[in-house]
Structure 1
Amino acid sequence: MIDFWLPAGLMLLVALAFLAIPALRGRKVQAEEDRTALNVSLYQERQAELQAQHAAGTLSLEQLEAGRAEAARELLADTEGAEIRRESRLGRWAPLSAALLVPLCALGLYLHWGASGKVELAREMREAPRSLEEMTARLERAVELQPDSAEGWYFLGRSYMAQERPADAAKAYERAVGLAGRQPELLGQWAQARYFAAGKRFDESVKVLTDEALRGDPQEATSLGLLGIAGFESGDYRQAIDYWQRLLAVLPEGDQSRAAIQGGIERAREQLGARGEPTEVPAVASAGPVLKAHVELAAALKDKVEPGDSVFVFVRAASGPPMPLAAKRMTVADLPAEVSLSDADAMMPQLKMSQFPQVQLVARISRQGDATRGEWIGRSPTLSNQTQEPLNLIIDGPDAK
């Protein structure tokens, strides 16, 4: 806390100086006022003495007037240069008392309503936590001090999940969604926490969240994994394989979870074989149309975007449901990029690009990571879903939606 209290102490000394200097100057002013009052009193006594001598006949009228004039000149000489001061005085102790009470009151108010807790928390956050419990405690303090921080609630939810506290995690993710909006990644994490909080039961509330997450981002990994689990548990092994294959397609090659997902796919195939059904589930787009595009950013917009801004490239029906039929997600840093879209990139298995002969290709930049709205957009003309030639798709205009 020394980095806070040192500048605070210096500022306090400056404030005390502003209050103490007038108090010290006030002593000089008081002395000047006392001296002036004494001179006036002596002048009045001299006037009375001259008047008494004139009444006794020792001074003539001319001598009386000359004496009065001489006394007036002496008074004027004694008081010359003295300024007219305040009519009322605070006294010696009032400014000094204020010099002490004001900073003490300010300190008390700061400790009651101020940000000392945030300063202390920032100091703690610079040090590595010694345990997961300590990290969770810090995050709990952080959201208590900053309840409007979506990032704080998100990381608190992840910390709760690491501690196997899914019910608490679900509440934290719900707060994060309420603050940051219904972003696909947050919805997927929220759905996962609900799934574990319900005893690994894929209920309707979890399905609603995963469906919404995939509408926003067809490659949202947590939702794909959960839907694969739901398919396996319900006996729909083909659905499980489909979702898990899509998940494998978006996971990095070095991801440690790839082995577990591949193992789940193999177990689903074994179940299909036990039923006497074909064990191979081909990729959804093996016999469907494929649209290819070269996606780039207009030169005029390069200074208006950030490398980490999300880029959604998707296909939607020219006449039909407004939701994307197939989509991929990247960032501005990936542009320019070659993109291929097919039924394998479908957001929902029952809604495929191959079902709509006329489609449109769209690329949207969204700083918030929302596929449904953004800042900049590029659109192709209406085209056939059987188009073979690669398209040149340029993001060049504001998103009016």
Structure 2
Amino acid sequence: MIWALLLLLVPLLGFLIKPVFFRGNVQVISQSEENLHLYQERCSELKNSDLDESTREALQLELDREFLASADEQQHSDVDVGGKNRWLLALSLFAATLAATFLMYQHWGAANEIRATELLRKSSEAQLSVPEREELLSRLALAASKNPDEIEWDYLRARLLNAEGDFAQAAAVFADILVALPEEAVADRATAMTMLAQAQFFAADQQVETQHYELIQQALQLMPDNRQAMGLAGIFAFELQHYNDAIQHWKNIWLSLPAGQEAAYLEQGIRRAAERLTQQGEAVDLSWLQRPEIKVLVDISVAAKAAAQAQDTVFVLAKAVSGPAMPLAAQRLTVADLPQVITLSDAQAMMPGMNLSSYDQVTLVARVSKSGQPVAQAGDWQVEKTPVSNKEPALIKLVISELVQ
């Protein structure tokens, strides 16, 4: 960008220097012409005077000397001003213009933001050096001060301060962001509250205070499905010995997770909170920690098998009876695999929060797909069974026998 500005200054330099070499045919009344006019007037006055001849000749000689002296002085003056001074003036104007352009670009231009963006992009690809991190922080602070309406710069700075371990400063920036956000920006306010509560928690050496929990509860009121807020709320409630609240917060997350390491860690925290309650003499029901499973025997009728090929795809799906159409669990077989017993569980969820644990009643579907696509099309064969409990203990038999018209 700065090179583009310097390139634009080249024609300006030419514009300023041109008068040094090229002077137009402009009629200018110089000091020499004024002196000549005055000399002629005085000569005329002297000629018409009543002085004697010798006096007039003496005065005329004096006038001639004065005129010649002034003409010589003016000639030297014109040479100096016309050459040297015009060069100095042109170069001074160019230097002043260059300096003003650079200073105005630094003040109003986007050089700082461009450099900050470059450093942010680099940080996503590799670890920044200490000087680069310090430069990025200072540039983000400058960008935020120059663009107070663009909260993103402050948000990026606060996240970076958090990552650097400067939690107190990060908390201060998140607090400023929260003040600046309008009330209608619900999602942004919930995120800012969550990040502020987290920064305050770490700034206090991970000692939970009541205001931390209250702040995260406000965030959950704005965004009840915010998983990060729910996790922090569980931690804060546990540290404040609100064990029932901690279990409830963590339960909401656990039910939305498929079986895996994250769910296992969360289950450990839930069981620890339950142990504390048991020690206090309070009974705790953790039966919901047993993940739902449905065992299904999938088979195919004689007519359907005769119309299908051995390599045709068979989809076995569990969908919510009342809810989104996306399957909660799915397994893929071929006609050659049938009959076969399969287990549908949270492990086969297609997206977080959409699993068997989330819905008590489901619809089971087994379908032979001629196209290989899970959506039913004319010519496919299928069977449906509904409603089925997501904790059905008995083996459910599905025989594919119905032609899709």
If the length of structure 1 is used for normalisation, what is the TM-score? 0.49
CA radius of gyration, larger in: 2
If the length of structure 2 is used for normalisation, what is the TM-score? 0.49
